[in-house]
Amino acid sequence: MLRLNVMNPPLIGVSTSVTVASYPERAYVNAAYLHAIQQAGGVPVLLPPQLGGPARREFRKRLAGVLLTGGGDVCPERFAEAPHPTTSDVSEARDGLEIDFTLWAIEEEVPLLAICRGLQVLNVALGGSLHQDIPSELGSPLDHSQVHRQTGTRHVPTHHVKVQDGSRLAGILGALELDVNSFHHQGIKRLGRGLAEVAWAPDSIIEGVELEDPARFVVGVQWHPEELVAADPAARNLFAALVDRARA
């Protein structure tokens, strides 16, 4: 169990979604991420795509950790592919900001937790590629429409995940097998530089990655632990690990 010093709450930058082709333009994020960070003892600070260079530099002076959140698709041009017909909600501004903060966090050894789209951004930032639409690109024993992209209640798990024994992720979660929720149609195809795949769905879709360099806390999961923290110790452990490393 991680023990946290609640007297020194670190600032955790939380990336936001952005409206695409609508007026007025808005930056927003699901509140579950903010509650999860605060429950773990951190202070969430929003990182909207509209931040310019001077604002980004000021944030970098103060942030102790970064959380990449879920949302729309990563632009396929980022990994040298033409868009799939199902590609949607692409924001060049959001891609740019998140890749910028991802590379900064890795360079400066700032802890980073990447969730769902965030895992995909992390992979692309390090030169990897994505399956743009899992249901049409990959055969699978799972019903993708109801499993990887569930339509029911967000805090209800829909499929199983196995985690590599001895991995950083396994140590954080405190489990080698768990049931997770899932809201995605893209997934990792070619791994980015320095990343190791450490968790998988039953159809072999990559569900967890981590940076191989043990000095850098960089972990990504394809599911949404922020929606599970109320009842799942493994989900709480993910946020506690980020905040604890940020405080250190």
Find the catalytic residue in 98, 116, 185, 227: 116
Find the catalytic residue in 98, 210, 226, 227: 226
pLDDT tens sequence across 182-241: 877 899 999 999 999 999 998 889 999 999 999 999 999 999 999 999 999 999 999 999
The CATH number assigned to the domain holding 181 equals: 3.40.50.880
ω before 24 within 30° of 0 (cis)? yes
224 has catalytic annotation: yes
The number of distinct structural domains making up the chain is: 1
75 has catalytic annotation: no
pLDDT tens sequence across 62-118: 999 999 999 999 999 999 999 998 888 899 999 999 999 999 999 999 999 999 999
Residue 72 lies in a domain: yes
Residue 2 lies in a domain: no
Find the catalytic residue in 144, 184, 224, 227: 224
Residue 55 lies in a domain: yes
Cβ-count burial of 30 within 10 angstroms (0-12 exposed, 13-18 middle, 19+ buried)?
A: middle
Residue 193 lies in a domain: yes
Residue 132 lies in a domain: yes
84 has catalytic annotation: no
Residue 4 lies in a domain: no
Residue 92 lies in a domain: yes
What domain range includes position 108? 11-247
Phi, psi of 59 (to 5 degrees): -60, -40
Residue 142 lies in a domain: yes
